[in-house]
Structure 1
Amino acid sequence: MARNNFSEIHPRLTLPNLLTGCRFVAAPFLLWLAWFGYHTAFLVLLGIAFLTDALDGLAARLTNQVTHFGAKLDSWADLATYLSVGFGTWWLWREIVHREDIYVYIIIACYLAPVAVGFIKFGKYASYHTWLAKLSAVSVAIAIYPLFLADIAWPFRVAVLIYAITALEQIAITLTLSEPSSNINSIMQLVNQHSHS
């Protein structure tokens, strides 16, 4: 009974949302570690943040707690993580980041363009959590480690290509939708739904 009452009083304090919240907590610590030059600790904490990013969606599906609020919270947690990664890697590995600046600019543009299109069409932050978005997030997360630990750049550049394709899909979804939505698997799923409606 107490558990049910807790769920009614705090319906948003679910396991998936708590996992997502860990990324908000990690963000300032990532910045602190980077500012004071703790390279290894930064990468370890970043790995934990990436792990919670993977686990929150899985937990939401396994516990049947996929919600619009959870999707939005996840998007804002992603933004906090990306900002921490951007500033942190610049402080810690400035030469590598400067060398890869074209790819960094592409990632920034590919993040901002779908957001801008969403605000123009819907007046709000649109995020869809497609399979391609998940793939691009995983590919970027993995590519960071060979880039900064061993100065191997090609996985990062491949990840940027995947991220660019993801951005195009996000924009296509926004242009196809008549109203904001979340947790869309792919543009093909959306097109099929429209063709059968």
Structure 2
Amino acid sequence: MDQPLFNFKSYRLQDWLSVYRLLAVPLLLYTLLSRQQTPFLLLLAVSLATDVLDGLLARWLRQQSGRGARLDSYGDLLTVPFMLASLFIFKPEFLEKQAVLLSILVGLYFVELAFSMFRYGKPSSFHTYLDKVSFLLLGAFYFCLFLFGFMEGLFYLAMAVAILGELEELILVGLLPDRRSNVKGLYWLLQGE
């Protein structure tokens, strides 16, 4: 049986790392709306680092759980939109130039989210390998954009992997009748793993 989401007494370190991301949302919102780019980027960097660390820690300690996957997914749902919103505020010229490709990715994300909500009654939390790689590439591109400027090759690589990741998640929602966490990916599902 899965652990209750808000039973704080049974939280492990990786759960608290995900909770940090949830608690950071008001600060992210404040720094974004007040156009404080450096504090915003620092808070976002810590949030994204804890996102990576919670999963690594759970796997390393062999303490992966449905609750941990849900906390991580909720953290993603609340943190990732700030990355896009920050582009509207801090990098509007980039958005104008890349609107089509970014719209495709965001559209696929919302289609997958809606399909998952329809099918399972809640967001998916597959955490596929492709999704993890796309997260790392998009995060690397995002911070490079702010620190060094537009890096075309990294952008197109990150977008290609992210779009493939969203398509894979759409297919997984279609194939899996029940919501599952920590699915390696479509290849492994089809192999019976």
What's 2:38 paired with?
40
- Structure 1 segment 38-77 matched on structure 2, within 5 A: 38-77=36-75
What's 2:173 paired with?
174
Moved more, 178-187 or 83-92: 83-92
Tell me the distance in 1 between the aligned counterparts of 2:149 and 2:96: 13
Displacement, 1:144? Answer: 0.5
Max radius of gyration: which structure?
1
Percentage identity across aligned positions?
A: 28
What's 1:3 paired with?
none
What's 2:92 paired with?
94
What's 2:3 paired with?
none
Tell me the distance in 1 between the aligned counterparts of 2:175 and 2:112: 13
After the TM superposition, list the runs of 4 or more consecutive aligned residues in structure 1 that deviate by more than 6 angstroms: none
| Structure 1: gaps spanning 5 or more residues | 1-7
Displacement, 1:9? Answer: 7.5
Moved more, 85-94 or 49-58: 85-94
The reply on whether 1:106 has 2:107 as its aligned counterpart is no
TM-score, normalisation: structure 2: 0.88
Q: Which amino acid aligns with 2:23?
A: V
What's 1:122 paired with?
120
Moved more, 183-192 or 142-151: 142-151
Deviation track 1:57-96 (CA, whole Å, cap 9, x = no partner) reads 0111122221111111111100111122222231222222
Tell me the distance in 2 between the aligned counterparts of 1:146 and 1:67: 33
Report if aligned partners of 1:115, 1:125 keep a CA contact under 8 Å in 2.
yes
Report if aligned partners of 1:110, 1:163 keep a CA contact under 8 Å in 2.
no
What's 2:155 paired with?
156
| Residue 84 of structure 1, aligned match among 68, 75, 82 | 82
| CA-based RMSD | 1.9
Could you say what secondary structure the match of 1:193 adopts? Answer: coil
Moved more, 135-144 or 37-46: 37-46
TM-score, normalisation: structure 1: 0.86
Displacement, 1:104? Answer: 2.2
What's 1:187 paired with?
186
| Structure 2: gaps spanning 5 or more residues | 1-6
